[in-house]
Chain A
Amino acid sequence: MEREKVHVRLLFLAGFLLFWMTAVFGRVAYLQLFRHSDYLTRAARQQRHTIDIYPKRGVIYDRNMHPLAMSVPVQSVFAVPGEIKDRAMVSHLLSAALGMPADEIREKLDSGSPFVWIKRKLPPAKSEEVESANLKGIYLQEENQRFYPKRDLAAHVLGFVDVDEKGLGGIEREYDNLIRGKDEKVVVMTDGRQHVFDGSETHEDRGVNVVLTIDEKIQYIAQRELEAAIEKTRAPAGSVIVQDPNTGAILALANWPKFNPNSATEASNEARTNRAISDIYEPGSTFKLVTLAAAFDQNLIRPEEVFDCQNGAVTVAGHVIHDHARLGLLTVADILAKSSDVGAIKVALLLGSPKFYDYIRAFGFGTPTGVDLPAESRGLVERLEHWGSFSIASISMGQEVGVTPLQMVTAVSSIANGGLLYKPHVVEHMRNGDTILPLAGPSTLPEPRRVIRPETAATLRGLMEGVILHGTGRRARLDGWTAAGKTGTAQKIDPATGRYSPHNVIASFTGFAPINNPAVTILVSIDSPAGYPHGGGDVAAPVFKAIAEQVLPYLDVPRDVPASPQLVQTAYRKNEQADDNSSDDLAAVDFNAQPEAPAGSAKPQTVKDNQPTSPEVVMSADEGGDIEVPDFSGKTMREVSEACLRLGLDPVLVGTDVAIQQTPAAGAKVRRGSKVTVDFGDPPKHSAKSK
């Protein structure tokens, strides 16, 4: 009986357990097998979030990999008005943090939109202030903001972007689709506390980085000199282009007025215009280079050939053309040097309109150069069939034709490099990380096109040197380098009268240096310089000189002419009681000292004898002339350098320790500025005999 009771109880317990397990497993099976998809969907909805990844714009570097434009992440404030209960309070708090009017914020919150931007791209301090306020309904969203750390440096080349980082000018616009990168969506899984525990991989399809041909140092030099010239001449506008004539690469492109891309919206359209490629101007006398190049290339003239400039006046098709001076018989070289319009017209008449037109087009005028910048103008060259009877004369002296500064400098570069017309470009290459991408689209570089024969180019280079040596471009003469160029003073049309204005001109100078193996071609154009003189030789040529004399040593271009005499500090003069340890050849040269009297004769009293103690610093006039190379044996580098500096020699020091060998040898006579190579090393050991 008892046994049966026990047995019943056990059965009851087992039955209960069985029922419980059946219920549990049955429920599990029901959920897993029949409701699986429903719960999976619900879980995915709760855990899965899609995040938009806005790619960072690529960096724009100069040719030396110095960043000129880059993007960094910043915070933007947005609101979900539906979650905000007290909008007045929130507006007030945000107004204090963001520095915006509370009414403006309130208006945005009351707009009825479920999502509103309050302010985009805040400085870190302000975003931290908003974050610390911890307002419900106010959130921060990370975005990228474009910065130009060098401010207005190469602004017209770089361009600028809008608030959504879309390129609106310059390289930013031209290569926007490449620099921008691709938007990406990333799926992440979050737990109940919104902590991410899983996410899909990002492909990081960021924008490509662009390396320009611009050199930031040369760009700064060009901008600084242009600004100085603008300030001096009170001109409203101007441009400077520095180009490598051997490749067409643009090393600097500066315009005035300028703007800061960091606040591009505050700048005027005029300031944002890239005048170097968009503005058309009549080149004036600079265009005579094309006239003469064509005539030389056709073997119609020779440099020494004489033309009668008819005392500075000629009549063509009923129009009388006057030179700036009464010029009579001039050689072709002088026509260019003295910029005779009459001479140029006569040369053009020899050439004829069809040939002249062909060469104008061959030099690239009338067509876009294809530079990889937007908004380039093609210039203005009338088709041959539209030329009037006076056109050939007018065009030969640079009127009735419109060119851009870039077209002009590219044409002159072709003369500098021996007759090849290169496509000007500002993009050196593009890279994705460390991988250099092949050039494509507007950045592809076609083969250069031959415009004139090398002999023609060489002849013209010689003539252009004459412009600087004894022509209108004397103020462009460089100290230490040969240079060639051409001035231009083109009258502008007065909009009031429709005729050429005698006062408003475009003063320009285009040249290159050195003559043999040119390193840079520089164009300077000043629009409407005030006052007189305002010609290209007076206003633009000095700017060319200032830029070239800074750029050429920066590029390590060796001097090909001696530098002119300059006042230099020679040495600190010690007391008249000479230091016993000092070497005679290191004593300062005293040009005031009288030569020593011959032996036996009374020593003449000199002014020097009665002078007080010599000044501490001796400034000597560096007069040039033959210099005797001293003996540098056993001297240290510092001693050799100081001696060469004092004598005006150019030392080349090789090795370490003390001087053991020199070229030229001690006692040789050399010219000022000559190189003296000194080898340094271990001093030779004394011979056994001397010991």
Chain B
Amino acid sequence: MATAYQWSGPSGDKILDGVASRKPEMTRPHVISRPLNPLAANRKKPAMVEFYTVKKIDNSRLVRHVEPLKMRNLYRTVALGGIIAAFCMLYIYQHFRCIDLGFQFEDLKAKTVQAQKLNSNLKLEIAYLRDPRRIDVIARRQLGLTQPTANQMRDYANPDGSEVAAVQFVRPNHAP
């Protein structure tokens, strides 16, 4: 009859056959006599004792050996992957940014066209207002102006604007 030994922890942990769920403590084995095979109950029990032992192995001081070449390759791969990813992001960003700018550009073009139309209309209005016939009618009928006679028209020499400005600013003070 095989003899199973159970480990029992201080708190009565769950006991598995031959396997402890928690860190085992060395306890005295609790001998359980249980016939495994009823037929074998009448047989002679072998004289074999099974011991389950757990060896506590402290690996905390072990340092995994890292191969520099492999790490270098790893870093290189990560960097390359990062760069590729960055380029992909950049590509996608500029693609949609271009589309967005395209919308803005076309919008500005439309506004420019509108401004040009307004400019054309204003130029047309100015040209109409400067019609010599219109000015003549306003001058004669509304303002009562008449055409000057030959002797009433005088020719004045107009000094250059820069000359006038120069005189204005450098004129000496004649105050007593």
B127 and A150 contact, CB distance less than 8 A = yes
List, in ascending order, chain A residues with CB within 8 A of B128's CB. Answer: 149-150
B149 and A149 contact, CB distance less than 8 A = no
Asked whether A563 and B124 contact (CB < 8 A) given A217-B132, A220-B132, A654-B159, the answer is no
B106 and A198 contact, CB distance less than 8 A = yes
A645 and B154 contact, CB distance less than 8 A = yes
Q: A66 touches which one: B120, B127, B154 (CB < 8 A)?
A: B127
Query: Across the A-B interface, how many residue pairs have beta carbons closer than 8 Å?
Result: 99
B171: CB under 8 A from chain A? yes
A153–B149 Cα distance when bound, in Å, is: 25
A31: CB under 8 A from chain B? no
Interfacial residues of chain A within 128-173, with CB under 8 A of chain B in the complex: 147, 149-151, 153
Q: Which of A67-75, A81-89, A468-476 contacts the other chain?
A: A67-75
B167 and A480 contact, CB distance less than 8 A = no
Closest-CB distance, B108 to chain A (whole angstroms)? 11
B131 and A151 contact, CB distance less than 8 A = yes
A651: CB under 8 A from chain B? yes
A108–B130 Cα distance when bound, in Å, is: 41
B66: CB under 8 A from chain A? no
Asked whether A566 and B151 contact (CB < 8 A) given A153-B131, A220-B132, the answer is yes
Closest-CB distance, A127 to chain B (whole angstroms)? 12
B62: CB under 8 A from chain A? no
B133 and A220 contact, CB distance less than 8 A = yes
A644–B133 Cα distance when bound, in Å, is: 33
A178: CB under 8 A from chain B? no
B60: CB under 8 A from chain A? no
A652 and B151 contact, CB distance less than 8 A = no
B131 and A198 contact, CB distance less than 8 A = no
Interfacial residues of chain B within 78-123, with CB under 8 A of chain A in the complex: 99, 102-103, 106, 109-110, 117, 120-121, 123
List, in ascending order, chain B residues with CB within 8 A of A480's CB. Answer: 150
List, in ascending order, chain A residues with CB within 8 A of B171's CB. Answer: 657, 682
Asked whether A622 and B151 contact (CB < 8 A) given A196-B106, A657-B167, A682-B172, the answer is yes
B124 and A153 contact, CB distance less than 8 A = no
Closest-CB distance, B96 to chain A (whole angstroms)? 11
B136 and A149 contact, CB distance less than 8 A = no
Secondary structure dominating the interface of A:
mixed
Q: A70 touches which one: B109, B110, B127, B136 (CB < 8 A)?
A: B127
List, in ascending order, chain B residues with CB within 8 A of A224's CB. Answer: 133, 136
Query: What total of chain A residues lie within 8 Å of the partner, measured CB to CB?
Result: 50
A70 and B156 contact, CB distance less than 8 A = no
B167 and A652 contact, CB distance less than 8 A = no
A652 and B155 contact, CB distance less than 8 A = yes
A597–B133 Cα distance when bound, in Å, is: 56
Q: B155 touches which one: A71, A151, A650 (CB < 8 A)?
A: A650
A653: CB under 8 A from chain B? yes
Asked whether A654 and B154 contact (CB < 8 A) given A197-B99, A199-B106, the answer is no
Q: Which single residue of chain A is at the shortest CB-CB distance from B157? A: A654
A220 and B127 contact, CB distance less than 8 A = no
B102 and A198 contact, CB distance less than 8 A = yes
B120 and A153 contact, CB distance less than 8 A = no
List, in ascending order, chain B residues with CB within 8 A of A279's CB. Answer: none
B16: CB under 8 A from chain A? no
Q: B156 touches which one: A149, A153, A199, A653 (CB < 8 A)?
A: A653
B57: CB under 8 A from chain A? no
Q: A150 touches which one: B103, B131, B147, B153 (CB < 8 A)?
A: B131
Q: B130 touches which one: A66, A641, A648 (CB < 8 A)?
A: A66
Interfacial residues of chain A within 563-593, with CB under 8 A of chain B in the complex: 563-564, 566, 568
List, in ascending order, chain A residues with CB within 8 A of B133's CB. Answer: 150-151, 153, 220, 224
Q: A656 touches which one: B151, B167, B172 (CB < 8 A)?
A: B167
Closest-CB distance, A213 to chain B (whole angstroms)? 17
B152: CB under 8 A from chain A? yes
Asked whether A641 and B106 contact (CB < 8 A) given A150-B131, A153-B133, A197-B99, the answer is no
Q: Which single residue of chain B is at the shortest CB-CB distance from A644? A: B154
List, in ascending order, chain B residues with CB within 8 A of A563's CB. Answer: 150-151
Q: B123 touches which one: A70, A199, A216, A549 (CB < 8 A)?
A: A70
Report 14 cross-chain contacts, Cβ distance below 8 Å, ordered by A residue. Answer: A70-B120, A72-B121, A73-B117, A195-B106, A199-B106, A220-B133, A224-B133, A566-B150, A568-B152, A645-B152, A652-B156, A652-B157, A654-B157, A657-B167
The interface of chain B, by Cβ under 8 A from chain A, is 99, 102-103, 106, 109-110, 117, 120-121, 123-124, 127-128, 130-133, 136, 147, 149-157, 159, 164, 167, 171-172
Known contacts A550-B147, A645-B154, A654-B159, then 8 further A-B pairs from the complex at CB < 8 Å, ordered by chain A residue? A191-B103, A196-B110, A199-B106, A220-B132, A220-B136, A648-B151, A652-B155, A653-B156
- Considering the complex of A and B, which 9 residue pairs feature the smallest CB-CB distances, nearest first? A149-B127, A220-B132, A197-B102, A149-B128, A563-B150, A196-B106, A72-B120, A197-B103, A67-B127
